[in-house]
Amino acid sequence: MSDVALKKIINNPEDFVDEVTESLLLAHPDRLRAASADRRALVRADAPVPGRVGIVTGGGSGHLPLFLGYVGQGLATGVAVGNVFSSPSAEQIAAATRASHGGAGVLYLYGNYGGDIYNFDLAADIVAAEGIATATVLGTDDILSAPRGKESTRRGVAGLFFAYKTAGAAADRGDDLAGVREIAQRTVDATRTMGVGLSPTILPAAGEPTFTLAEGEMEVGIGIHGEPGSHRGPLESADEITDRFLTEILAELDPAPGQRVAVLVNGLGATPLEELYLIYRRVHHVLTERGVTIHRRYIGEFATSLEMAGASLSLLLLDDELAELLDAPAASPFFAQGQVAPVAPVPAADIPVERTDSSGGARVRRTGRTSTLRALLVDALAELPAHAEELRALDARLGDGDLGITVSTGATAVREALLGLPADVHAADLLRTAGVAFASANPSTFAALVGTGLLHAAAETDDVDGVTAADAARITEAVAHRVQERGGARRGDKTFLDVLLAVAEALSDTTDARTAAEAAVAAAERTVSETRNLASARGRAAWVGQRSVGEPDPGSVAVLRFLEALRDRIG
């Protein structure tokens, strides 16, 4: 890789995302405002719109104008901004949700990526406790990321723009939450995208390419994070590449003569506009020859991958209602169509106080009795960062090596959050605070699953003042139930669900704290030992297949270390 390829106009790479959001707020104060102190939740300047469904999107940075470029009139209401190619946290999503809620509920509309799904689902749990109804639609337009019959597992890429446009128009005309969701889903179902990559992107913090291509090569079907495509070979002409796109897309959408479509030719960040128009030229000729009417065409950069060279083609098969909604006026800092009324920003005095604490600003209940659970957790959590290197090494052999930092930063965040609660805090509010703090500290899949599990346990133990051994079993069962529901794992898949289920069963036969602690640790140790000879069947560890046999599951070991710390502090 040459020095020229590594050149970027940035300051400190670690500050890249925060400086970008600050820049947008400074440049477009009439369009956008921050909805959180860290400026990772942004909303349109006039949000919330009373009586209208809010639309919140989000995802990793590095894709402008996707995602935050489509916050505006007739589009999305708010956005949560993650680090480059990384999910935003659940609390950032929740902050955007609160600021977008005009009383009619909020639609979550974003791409089909695991980390985003876990964190948006957790955010839905957080705001549900505050009385905000949400619904979700995932963009799944990337045609080569999964075969026919598995459309729901496809990635969401540039075609998500169409769903922002139609759903935003539906919200503006006053549709209820179910109606806006139906429009968004109908749009997603009728959209297909295919792309080609010609050169990699360079992550600001890493300074290294996300993939490599030999001179004169192209990769067809590549994802916007550099995920592998379905074909790598010599670079073809614009017409040949476009014909590849159309062969796949038209085979699935199969528009009949006289039907209308919308066309989106998208540049991935470093492709000249002239080349995008060459792609459109071929699309126009082929569709016209088929008798298909091009109702609208969009040509430019709509979903990028920093400086990746390449392009994608999206087609939306229209019905009369979708065509009308697509035609509606819209405006954001990155997109304008038709005439919209001037924005009337919400007066500063009417903007709710930003809530950046781990309780989400929720009022906590007090029992009048010192919480033994709070004191126990504060002490035990202080020990977990010492296991960061052990967990990192275990995870590096089976996954991406981030579990050590996830557990370490999460434990520290939860401990600080609990210290900020009253000593007599209600058990359910303690669990709720812990769940939000752990998930928000490091928005990984493990953190999101633990967080959503604790939130579910909080809801299930709302009637618990002090925690007995029986209550501990109930809490663990609730956590396990939600982890299984949201993560999709089953017993024996070699995930930390195995440990949770074993511990819940062991706790159900205990009556005092010391016996419960000993039984929990014994059950966890036994499960870690028994499952290490299994092949991992879920998560990143499943990708290494048989190489996972003989290795302990890192998440299960993390739970074991936590239980050991608790046991050592129970007399």
Which positions are catalytic? 225
Tell me the three state secondary structure of residue 192: strand
**Chain centroid to CA 509: how far?**
39
Per DSSP, the residues of 222-273 read --TT----SEEEE---HHHHHHHHHHHHHHHH-PPTT-EEEEEEEE-BS--H
Q: Which residues contact 413 (CB under 8 A, 6 or more apart)?
A: 358, 437, 438, 440, 441
Kindly report the three-state secondary structure assignment for every residue of 425-440: ECHHHHHHHHHHHHHH
- Bridge partners (DSSP) listed for residue 196: 220, 311
Distance CA 426, CA 439 (A): 20
Structure-block tokens of residue 499: 């440990």
Tokens 């669900």 belong to residue: 497
Structure-block tokens of residue 327: 């035609």
Distance CA 266, CA 195 (A): 9
Tell me the three state secondary structure of residue 191: strand
Residue 266: which of 193, 185, 192 has the closest Cα?
A: 193
Which ranges of 10-132 does DSSP label H, i.e. alpha helix? Answer: 16-27, 90-100, 114-128
φ and ψ of 297, to 5 deg: -130, 140
Distance CA 212, CA 319 (A): 41
